A and B are shown apart, each in its own frame.
Chain A
Amino acid sequence: MTGANSFQVSGYGPERAGWTRLFARDSLARRLDWPILFAALALSLVGSVLVFSATRNRTEINQGDQYYFLVRHILNTGIGFALMIGTVWLGHRTLRTAVPILYGVSVFLILLVLTPLGSTINGAHSWIQLPGGFSLQPSEFVKVTIILGMAMLLAARVDAGDKPYPDHRTVLQALGLAAVPMLIVLLMPDLGSVMVMVVIVLGVLLASGASNRWVFGLLSAGTIGAIAVWKLHILDDYQIARFAAFANPSLDPAGVGYNTNQARIAIGSGGLTGAGLFNGSQTTGQFVPEQQTDFVFTVAGEELGFVGGGLIIVLLGVLLWRACRIARETTELYGTIVAAGIVAWFAFQSFENIGMTLGIMPVTGLPLPFVSYGGSSMFAVWVAVGLLQSIRVQRPMSA
Protein backbone atom coordinates (compact mmCIF):
# COMPACT_ATOMS: atom_id res chain seq x y z
CA MET A 1 0.00 0.00 0.00
CA THR A 2 1.64 3.13 -1.15
CA GLY A 3 -1.08 5.60 -0.79
CA ALA A 4 -2.12 5.30 -4.40
CA ASN A 5 -5.78 5.58 -4.68
CA SER A 6 -7.99 2.74 -5.64
CA PHE A 7 -10.02 4.75 -8.08
CA GLN A 8 -7.20 4.40 -10.50
CA VAL A 9 -6.03 1.00 -9.36
CA SER A 10 -9.33 -0.75 -9.92
CA GLY A 11 -9.35 0.48 -13.48
CA TYR A 12 -12.11 2.90 -14.19
CA GLY A 13 -10.24 4.28 -17.13
CA PRO A 14 -12.11 5.48 -20.17
CA GLU A 15 -10.26 3.02 -22.36
CA ARG A 16 -11.65 0.07 -20.39
CA ALA A 17 -15.12 1.27 -19.71
CA GLY A 18 -17.81 -1.37 -19.38
CA TRP A 19 -20.23 -2.87 -16.93
CA THR A 20 -18.21 -6.01 -16.53
CA ARG A 21 -15.25 -4.00 -15.40
CA LEU A 22 -17.38 -2.10 -12.98
CA PHE A 23 -18.66 -5.20 -11.27
CA ALA A 24 -15.53 -7.27 -11.56
CA ARG A 25 -14.00 -8.69 -8.44
CA ASP A 26 -12.14 -6.02 -6.56
CA SER A 27 -13.85 -3.31 -8.57
CA LEU A 28 -14.86 -0.09 -6.91
CA ALA A 29 -18.53 -0.92 -7.16
CA ARG A 30 -18.02 -4.25 -5.42
CA ARG A 31 -15.90 -2.69 -2.74
CA LEU A 32 -18.16 0.24 -1.90
CA ASP A 33 -20.32 -0.19 1.17
CA TRP A 34 -23.73 0.06 -0.42
CA PRO A 35 -25.84 -0.19 2.75
CA ILE A 36 -24.14 2.88 4.20
CA LEU A 37 -24.59 4.80 0.98
CA PHE A 38 -28.20 3.72 0.73
CA ALA A 39 -28.93 4.58 4.38
CA ALA A 40 -27.28 8.01 4.09
CA LEU A 41 -29.17 8.82 0.89
CA ALA A 42 -32.45 7.57 2.36
CA LEU A 43 -31.98 9.64 5.51
CA SER A 44 -31.21 12.73 3.42
CA LEU A 45 -34.30 12.25 1.27
CA VAL A 46 -36.57 11.55 4.23
CA GLY A 47 -35.01 14.66 5.75
CA SER A 48 -35.89 16.74 2.71
CA VAL A 49 -39.54 15.68 2.96
CA LEU A 50 -39.66 16.40 6.68
CA VAL A 51 -37.94 19.75 6.24
CA PHE A 52 -40.45 20.59 3.53
CA SER A 53 -43.36 19.67 5.77
CA ALA A 54 -41.98 21.74 8.59
CA THR A 55 -41.27 24.83 6.54
CA ARG A 56 -43.87 25.07 3.79
CA ASN A 57 -46.11 27.20 6.03
CA ARG A 58 -43.45 29.13 7.90
CA THR A 59 -43.78 32.23 5.81
CA GLU A 60 -41.69 34.26 8.18
CA ILE A 61 -38.57 32.21 7.35
CA ASN A 62 -39.16 30.66 3.93
CA GLN A 63 -39.32 34.03 2.15
CA GLY A 64 -42.69 33.24 0.67
CA ASP A 65 -41.44 30.21 -1.21
CA GLN A 66 -42.75 27.02 0.30
CA TYR A 67 -40.09 24.99 -1.54
CA TYR A 68 -37.25 27.22 -0.30
CA PHE A 69 -36.00 24.78 2.33
CA LEU A 70 -36.81 21.67 0.30
CA VAL A 71 -34.72 22.83 -2.64
CA ARG A 72 -31.87 23.84 -0.40
CA HIS A 73 -31.91 20.60 1.52
CA ILE A 74 -31.71 18.63 -1.74
CA LEU A 75 -28.99 20.95 -2.95
CA ASN A 76 -27.05 20.43 0.28
CA THR A 77 -27.47 16.66 -0.14
CA GLY A 78 -26.13 16.93 -3.68
CA ILE A 79 -23.11 18.95 -2.58
CA GLY A 80 -22.57 16.52 0.29
CA PHE A 81 -22.76 13.63 -2.13
CA ALA A 82 -20.15 15.30 -4.34
CA LEU A 83 -17.95 15.88 -1.31
CA MET A 84 -18.25 12.18 -0.51
CA ILE A 85 -17.17 11.24 -4.03
CA GLY A 86 -14.28 13.67 -3.75
CA THR A 87 -13.26 12.15 -0.43
CA VAL A 88 -13.34 8.64 -1.82
CA TRP A 89 -11.42 9.80 -4.86
CA LEU A 90 -8.73 11.39 -2.76
CA GLY A 91 -8.75 8.54 -0.28
CA HIS A 92 -8.43 8.75 3.45
CA ARG A 93 -4.73 8.09 3.25
CA THR A 94 -4.11 11.08 1.04
CA LEU A 95 -6.15 13.10 3.46
CA ARG A 96 -3.89 11.79 6.22
CA THR A 97 -1.06 13.75 4.71
CA ALA A 98 -3.27 16.79 4.46
CA VAL A 99 -4.36 16.64 8.09
CA PRO A 100 -2.11 19.48 9.30
CA ILE A 101 -3.56 21.79 6.64
CA LEU A 102 -7.18 20.72 7.31
CA TYR A 103 -6.67 21.08 11.05
CA GLY A 104 -5.10 24.52 10.64
CA VAL A 105 -7.92 25.73 8.39
CA SER A 106 -10.70 24.48 10.68
CA VAL A 107 -9.12 25.98 13.79
CA PHE A 108 -8.70 29.23 11.90
CA LEU A 109 -12.39 29.14 10.96
CA ILE A 110 -13.62 28.59 14.49
CA LEU A 111 -11.34 31.36 15.68
CA LEU A 112 -12.96 33.52 13.05
CA VAL A 113 -16.32 32.81 14.66
CA LEU A 114 -15.08 34.47 17.84
CA THR A 115 -14.25 37.64 15.91
CA PRO A 116 -16.98 40.09 14.92
CA LEU A 117 -17.39 38.08 11.73
CA GLY A 118 -19.17 35.40 13.73
CA SER A 119 -22.85 35.58 14.44
CA THR A 120 -25.18 34.19 17.06
CA ILE A 121 -28.10 31.92 16.33
CA ASN A 122 -30.26 30.61 19.19
CA GLY A 123 -27.80 31.61 21.88
CA ALA A 124 -24.82 29.87 20.26
CA HIS A 125 -22.20 32.11 18.78
CA SER A 126 -21.08 29.51 16.30
CA TRP A 127 -21.82 30.80 12.85
CA ILE A 128 -20.09 32.76 10.13
CA GLN A 129 -22.38 34.64 7.82
CA LEU A 130 -21.34 34.34 4.21
CA PRO A 131 -22.54 36.56 1.39
CA GLY A 132 -25.67 35.38 -0.40
CA GLY A 133 -27.56 34.38 2.70
CA PHE A 134 -25.36 31.37 3.37
CA SER A 135 -23.87 30.67 6.72
CA LEU A 136 -21.14 28.35 7.86
CA GLN A 137 -20.87 26.45 11.11
CA PRO A 138 -17.18 25.55 11.32
CA SER A 139 -17.59 23.43 14.44
CA GLU A 140 -19.16 20.76 12.21
CA PHE A 141 -15.94 20.48 10.21
CA VAL A 142 -13.83 20.53 13.36
CA LYS A 143 -15.43 17.22 14.31
CA VAL A 144 -13.95 15.69 11.14
CA THR A 145 -10.52 17.22 11.60
CA ILE A 146 -10.31 16.17 15.24
CA ILE A 147 -10.97 12.58 14.17
CA LEU A 148 -8.44 12.73 11.35
CA GLY A 149 -5.80 14.53 13.42
CA MET A 150 -6.04 12.26 16.43
CA ALA A 151 -6.08 9.17 14.21
CA MET A 152 -2.99 10.39 12.41
CA LEU A 153 -1.05 10.88 15.65
CA LEU A 154 -2.26 7.76 17.43
CA ALA A 155 -1.90 5.37 14.52
CA ALA A 156 1.45 6.64 13.21
CA ARG A 157 3.78 4.38 15.20
CA VAL A 158 1.41 1.44 15.40
CA ASP A 159 0.81 1.31 11.67
CA ALA A 160 4.57 1.60 11.20
CA GLY A 161 4.78 -1.59 13.20
CA ASP A 162 6.88 -0.01 15.98
CA LYS A 163 4.45 -0.57 18.80
CA PRO A 164 1.26 -2.53 19.44
CA TYR A 165 -0.42 0.45 21.14
CA PRO A 166 0.08 4.20 21.15
CA ASP A 167 2.32 5.31 24.04
CA HIS A 168 1.48 7.90 26.63
CA ARG A 169 3.27 10.71 24.87
CA THR A 170 1.33 10.13 21.70
CA VAL A 171 -1.95 10.03 23.57
CA LEU A 172 -1.06 13.28 25.29
CA GLN A 173 -0.25 14.89 21.96
CA ALA A 174 -3.52 13.65 20.50
CA LEU A 175 -5.48 14.98 23.43
CA GLY A 176 -3.76 18.32 23.10
CA LEU A 177 -4.66 18.40 19.42
CA ALA A 178 -8.31 17.83 20.28
CA ALA A 179 -8.34 20.18 23.24
CA VAL A 180 -7.48 23.35 21.32
CA PRO A 181 -10.56 23.47 19.03
CA MET A 182 -12.76 22.10 21.82
CA LEU A 183 -11.83 24.98 24.08
CA ILE A 184 -12.53 27.47 21.33
CA VAL A 185 -15.95 25.89 20.65
CA LEU A 186 -16.69 25.96 24.37
CA LEU A 187 -16.04 29.70 24.31
CA MET A 188 -18.61 30.27 21.59
CA PRO A 189 -20.39 28.73 23.60
CA ASP A 190 -21.59 25.69 21.68
CA LEU A 191 -22.02 23.18 24.43
CA GLY A 192 -23.70 20.56 22.23
CA SER A 193 -20.76 20.41 19.85
CA VAL A 194 -18.32 20.17 22.74
CA MET A 195 -20.29 17.24 24.13
CA VAL A 196 -20.10 15.51 20.76
CA MET A 197 -16.36 16.19 20.56
CA VAL A 198 -15.78 14.73 24.02
CA VAL A 199 -17.55 11.56 22.91
CA ILE A 200 -15.51 11.52 19.68
CA VAL A 201 -12.28 11.77 21.69
CA LEU A 202 -13.45 8.91 23.89
CA GLY A 203 -14.31 6.77 20.88
CA VAL A 204 -11.01 7.53 19.22
CA LEU A 205 -9.03 6.68 22.34
CA LEU A 206 -10.95 3.43 22.80
CA ALA A 207 -10.34 2.36 19.21
CA SER A 208 -6.67 3.34 19.31
CA GLY A 209 -5.97 0.74 21.95
CA ALA A 210 -4.64 3.38 24.32
CA SER A 211 -4.17 2.24 27.87
CA ASN A 212 -7.29 1.73 29.95
CA ARG A 213 -5.96 4.33 32.34
CA TRP A 214 -6.38 6.96 29.67
CA VAL A 215 -9.91 5.91 28.92
CA PHE A 216 -11.06 5.86 32.51
CA GLY A 217 -8.98 8.90 33.38
CA LEU A 218 -10.69 10.84 30.62
CA LEU A 219 -14.10 9.62 31.69
CA SER A 220 -13.59 10.80 35.26
CA ALA A 221 -12.03 14.05 34.09
CA GLY A 222 -15.13 14.63 31.96
CA THR A 223 -17.42 14.01 34.93
CA ILE A 224 -15.45 16.33 37.21
CA GLY A 225 -15.31 18.90 34.43
CA ALA A 226 -19.09 18.74 34.02
CA ILE A 227 -19.59 19.26 37.74
CA ALA A 228 -17.13 22.14 37.73
CA VAL A 229 -18.84 23.77 34.77
CA TRP A 230 -22.16 23.48 36.60
CA LYS A 231 -20.89 24.73 39.95
CA LEU A 232 -18.67 27.51 38.66
CA HIS A 233 -21.43 29.01 36.52
CA ILE A 234 -19.45 28.75 33.37
CA LEU A 235 -22.67 27.91 31.56
CA ASP A 236 -24.97 30.64 30.38
CA ASP A 237 -28.33 30.97 32.07
CA TYR A 238 -30.16 29.68 29.02
CA GLN A 239 -28.13 26.51 29.11
CA ILE A 240 -28.86 25.88 32.78
CA ALA A 241 -32.50 26.60 32.12
CA ARG A 242 -32.55 24.04 29.32
CA PHE A 243 -31.14 21.43 31.64
CA ALA A 244 -33.61 22.31 34.36
CA ALA A 245 -36.45 22.10 31.87
CA PHE A 246 -35.14 18.74 30.78
CA ALA A 247 -35.32 17.49 34.32
CA ASN A 248 -38.84 18.85 34.75
CA PRO A 249 -40.53 19.83 31.48
CA SER A 250 -43.66 21.16 33.12
CA LEU A 251 -41.52 23.63 35.07
CA ASP A 252 -42.16 26.47 32.70
CA PRO A 253 -44.36 25.30 29.82
CA ALA A 254 -44.40 28.74 28.21
CA GLY A 255 -40.69 29.33 28.55
CA VAL A 256 -37.78 26.96 28.32
CA GLY A 257 -39.92 23.90 28.87
CA TYR A 258 -42.01 24.88 25.84
CA ASN A 259 -39.76 23.22 23.25
CA THR A 260 -39.57 19.99 25.16
CA ASN A 261 -43.28 19.91 25.86
CA GLN A 262 -44.42 20.73 22.35
CA ALA A 263 -41.90 18.32 20.86
CA ARG A 264 -43.15 15.52 23.06
CA ILE A 265 -46.78 16.36 22.32
CA ALA A 266 -46.01 16.31 18.59
CA ILE A 267 -44.30 12.93 18.74
CA GLY A 268 -46.72 11.42 21.21
CA SER A 269 -49.75 12.39 19.17
CA GLY A 270 -48.34 10.54 16.15
CA GLY A 271 -49.29 7.11 17.36
CA LEU A 272 -48.44 4.08 15.23
CA THR A 273 -48.70 5.48 11.73
CA GLY A 274 -48.86 9.20 12.36
CA ALA A 275 -51.24 11.87 11.16
CA GLY A 276 -50.04 11.50 7.61
CA LEU A 277 -47.52 13.60 5.78
CA PHE A 278 -48.41 17.34 5.89
CA ASN A 279 -51.33 16.56 8.21
CA GLY A 280 -49.66 16.97 11.57
CA SER A 281 -51.47 19.68 13.47
CA GLN A 282 -48.48 20.42 15.68
CA THR A 283 -46.32 20.77 12.61
CA THR A 284 -48.85 22.67 10.51
CA GLY A 285 -49.61 24.84 13.49
CA GLN A 286 -45.91 25.52 14.02
CA PHE A 287 -46.04 24.72 17.69
CA VAL A 288 -42.55 23.23 17.72
CA PRO A 289 -39.75 25.77 17.29
CA GLU A 290 -36.67 24.99 15.17
CA GLN A 291 -38.57 22.15 13.63
CA GLN A 292 -36.65 21.99 10.38
CA THR A 293 -33.30 21.79 12.12
CA ASP A 294 -32.84 20.53 15.66
CA PHE A 295 -36.41 19.28 16.09
CA VAL A 296 -36.89 17.72 12.67
CA PHE A 297 -37.50 14.33 14.27
CA THR A 298 -40.78 15.62 15.69
CA VAL A 299 -42.15 15.98 12.15
CA ALA A 300 -41.45 12.33 11.51
CA GLY A 301 -42.90 11.40 14.87
CA GLU A 302 -46.12 13.30 14.36
CA GLU A 303 -46.79 12.83 10.68
CA LEU A 304 -45.29 9.39 10.09
CA GLY A 305 -45.77 7.97 13.57
CA PHE A 306 -43.88 5.11 15.14
CA VAL A 307 -43.33 3.59 11.70
CA GLY A 308 -41.62 6.72 10.33
CA GLY A 309 -39.65 7.51 13.47
CA GLY A 310 -38.63 3.88 13.75
CA LEU A 311 -37.49 3.89 10.13
CA ILE A 312 -35.13 6.78 10.79
CA ILE A 313 -33.68 4.98 13.80
CA VAL A 314 -33.30 1.77 11.78
CA LEU A 315 -31.56 3.61 8.94
CA LEU A 316 -29.18 5.17 11.44
CA GLY A 317 -28.68 1.70 12.91
CA VAL A 318 -27.80 0.24 9.50
CA LEU A 319 -25.32 3.03 8.89
CA LEU A 320 -23.70 2.66 12.30
CA TRP A 321 -23.63 -1.13 12.13
CA ARG A 322 -21.83 -1.06 8.81
CA ALA A 323 -19.46 1.63 10.05
CA CYS A 324 -18.59 -0.54 13.03
CA ARG A 325 -17.86 -3.42 10.67
CA ILE A 326 -15.62 -1.19 8.61
CA ALA A 327 -13.75 -0.24 11.74
CA ARG A 328 -13.29 -3.88 12.65
CA GLU A 329 -12.35 -5.14 9.24
CA THR A 330 -9.78 -2.63 8.12
CA THR A 331 -6.15 -3.64 8.60
CA GLU A 332 -4.71 -0.28 9.52
CA LEU A 333 -5.23 1.29 12.92
CA TYR A 334 -5.60 4.67 11.19
CA GLY A 335 -8.69 3.50 9.34
CA THR A 336 -10.04 1.84 12.46
CA ILE A 337 -9.68 4.98 14.53
CA VAL A 338 -11.28 7.19 11.88
CA ALA A 339 -14.21 4.82 11.47
CA ALA A 340 -14.66 4.46 15.21
CA GLY A 341 -14.51 8.23 15.68
CA ILE A 342 -17.22 8.64 13.05
CA VAL A 343 -19.32 5.97 14.75
CA ALA A 344 -18.97 7.75 18.10
CA TRP A 345 -19.86 11.07 16.48
CA PHE A 346 -22.92 9.88 14.56
CA ALA A 347 -24.17 7.67 17.36
CA PHE A 348 -23.95 10.26 20.08
CA GLN A 349 -25.23 13.15 17.98
CA SER A 350 -28.21 11.10 16.78
CA PHE A 351 -28.92 9.88 20.29
CA GLU A 352 -28.74 13.38 21.72
CA ASN A 353 -30.86 14.90 18.96
CA ILE A 354 -33.62 12.29 18.95
CA GLY A 355 -33.32 11.85 22.70
CA MET A 356 -34.04 15.52 23.37
CA THR A 357 -37.19 15.43 21.24
CA LEU A 358 -38.26 12.36 23.20
CA GLY A 359 -37.51 14.05 26.48
CA ILE A 360 -34.74 11.73 27.62
CA MET A 361 -31.87 14.13 26.89
CA PRO A 362 -31.48 17.83 27.60
CA VAL A 363 -32.09 20.27 24.78
CA THR A 364 -28.95 21.32 22.95
CA GLY A 365 -28.61 22.70 19.46
CA LEU A 366 -27.42 19.65 17.55
CA PRO A 367 -28.65 18.59 14.11
CA LEU A 368 -29.76 15.07 13.28
CA PRO A 369 -27.21 13.76 10.74
CA PHE A 370 -28.53 13.85 7.13
CA VAL A 371 -32.08 14.67 8.24
CA SER A 372 -31.86 18.14 9.78
CA TYR A 373 -31.71 21.14 7.53
CA GLY A 374 -28.27 22.76 7.53
CA GLY A 375 -25.46 22.89 5.00
CA SER A 376 -22.40 22.63 7.23
CA SER A 377 -23.73 19.60 9.04
CA MET A 378 -24.80 17.95 5.80
CA PHE A 379 -21.39 18.49 4.19
CA ALA A 380 -19.53 17.22 7.24
CA VAL A 381 -21.54 14.02 7.57
CA TRP A 382 -21.21 13.25 3.86
CA VAL A 383 -17.45 13.77 4.07
CA ALA A 384 -17.53 11.32 6.95
CA VAL A 385 -19.42 8.84 4.76
CA GLY A 386 -16.75 9.40 2.13
CA LEU A 387 -14.08 8.55 4.69
CA LEU A 388 -15.90 5.36 5.68
CA GLN A 389 -16.21 4.35 2.03
CA SER A 390 -12.60 5.11 1.42
CA ILE A 391 -11.50 2.98 4.36
CA ARG A 392 -13.57 0.09 3.08
CA VAL A 393 -12.57 0.48 -0.55
CA GLN A 394 -8.89 0.58 0.25
CA ARG A 395 -8.72 -2.36 2.59
CA PRO A 396 -7.21 -5.44 1.02
CA MET A 397 -9.84 -7.89 -0.03
CA SER A 398 -9.72 -11.08 1.91
CA ALA A 399 -8.81 -14.04 -0.18
Chain B
Amino acid sequence: MSEITSTPVPSSEPLDLIKLCLDEQIFVKLRGSREMIGKLHAYDSHCNMVLSDAVETIYYVHDSQSGEIKSKTKKSEMVFVRGDSVILVTDAANV
Protein backbone atom coordinates (compact mmCIF):
# COMPACT_ATOMS: atom_id res chain seq x y z
CA MET B 1 0.00 0.00 0.00
CA SER B 2 2.76 2.41 0.94
CA GLU B 3 4.25 2.31 -2.57
CA ILE B 4 0.92 3.33 -4.07
CA THR B 5 0.54 6.40 -1.89
CA SER B 6 4.18 7.37 -2.36
CA THR B 7 4.10 7.35 -6.17
CA PRO B 8 3.21 10.67 -7.78
CA VAL B 9 -0.30 10.94 -9.13
CA PRO B 10 -0.14 12.32 -12.66
CA SER B 11 -1.96 15.62 -12.95
CA SER B 12 -3.17 14.79 -16.45
CA GLU B 13 -3.90 11.46 -18.03
CA PRO B 14 -3.24 10.30 -21.59
CA LEU B 15 -6.76 10.90 -22.90
CA ASP B 16 -6.46 14.57 -21.88
CA LEU B 17 -4.21 15.05 -24.91
CA ILE B 18 -7.12 14.04 -27.10
CA LYS B 19 -9.42 16.32 -25.14
CA LEU B 20 -7.07 19.23 -25.87
CA CYS B 21 -7.21 18.33 -29.56
CA LEU B 22 -11.00 18.74 -29.81
CA ASP B 23 -11.86 21.02 -32.70
CA GLU B 24 -8.23 20.79 -33.91
CA GLN B 25 -6.59 18.90 -36.74
CA ILE B 26 -5.24 15.60 -35.46
CA PHE B 27 -3.08 12.86 -36.89
CA VAL B 28 -4.16 9.30 -36.16
CA LYS B 29 -2.10 6.26 -37.01
CA LEU B 30 -4.29 3.21 -37.62
CA ARG B 31 -3.87 -0.53 -38.00
CA GLY B 32 -3.38 -1.81 -41.51
CA SER B 33 -0.83 0.82 -42.67
CA ARG B 34 -3.32 3.66 -42.57
CA GLU B 35 -3.06 7.20 -41.35
CA MET B 36 -5.80 9.75 -40.97
CA ILE B 37 -5.71 13.50 -40.59
CA GLY B 38 -8.87 15.42 -39.79
CA LYS B 39 -10.62 17.77 -37.43
CA LEU B 40 -11.62 16.05 -34.22
CA HIS B 41 -15.27 16.49 -33.34
CA ALA B 42 -15.72 13.87 -30.65
CA TYR B 43 -14.05 10.93 -28.97
CA ASP B 44 -14.62 8.51 -26.14
CA SER B 45 -12.53 6.39 -23.80
CA HIS B 46 -12.16 3.67 -26.45
CA CYS B 47 -10.64 6.24 -28.82
CA ASN B 48 -13.69 6.00 -31.05
CA MET B 49 -13.55 9.29 -32.88
CA VAL B 50 -15.53 11.44 -35.27
CA LEU B 51 -13.40 13.40 -37.74
CA SER B 52 -14.45 15.92 -40.34
CA ASP B 53 -12.70 16.74 -43.61
CA ALA B 54 -10.62 13.66 -43.05
CA VAL B 55 -7.86 12.51 -45.36
CA GLU B 56 -6.98 8.85 -45.02
CA THR B 57 -3.64 7.72 -46.42
CA ILE B 58 -3.33 4.01 -47.17
CA TYR B 59 0.14 2.58 -47.77
CA TYR B 60 0.51 -0.58 -49.83
CA VAL B 61 3.23 -2.58 -51.54
CA HIS B 62 3.06 -1.63 -55.20
CA ASP B 63 5.66 -4.10 -56.47
CA SER B 64 6.23 -7.15 -54.30
CA GLN B 65 9.58 -7.88 -56.00
CA SER B 66 11.19 -4.51 -55.29
CA GLY B 67 9.08 -3.90 -52.20
CA GLU B 68 8.16 -0.47 -53.50
CA ILE B 69 5.64 1.26 -51.24
CA LYS B 70 2.95 3.48 -52.66
CA SER B 71 0.10 5.30 -51.04
CA LYS B 72 -3.35 6.42 -51.94
CA THR B 73 -5.63 8.84 -50.18
CA LYS B 74 -9.33 8.87 -49.49
CA LYS B 75 -11.22 11.95 -48.41
CA SER B 76 -14.35 11.96 -46.36
CA GLU B 77 -16.47 14.85 -45.20
CA MET B 78 -17.30 13.17 -41.92
CA VAL B 79 -16.07 9.82 -40.67
CA PHE B 80 -16.36 7.64 -37.60
CA VAL B 81 -13.12 5.88 -36.66
CA ARG B 82 -13.49 2.82 -34.47
CA GLY B 83 -11.19 2.97 -31.47
CA ASP B 84 -9.80 -0.54 -31.73
CA SER B 85 -7.91 0.32 -34.91
CA VAL B 86 -6.19 3.36 -33.39
CA ILE B 87 -2.46 3.02 -32.68
CA LEU B 88 -1.52 6.56 -31.77
CA VAL B 89 -2.84 10.11 -31.76
CA THR B 90 -0.97 13.38 -31.99
CA ASP B 91 -1.60 16.96 -33.07
CA ALA B 92 -1.49 17.19 -36.86
CA ALA B 93 0.76 20.25 -36.63
CA ASN B 94 3.56 17.94 -35.56
CA VAL B 95 3.50 15.57 -38.49
Q: Is B truly associated with A?
A: no
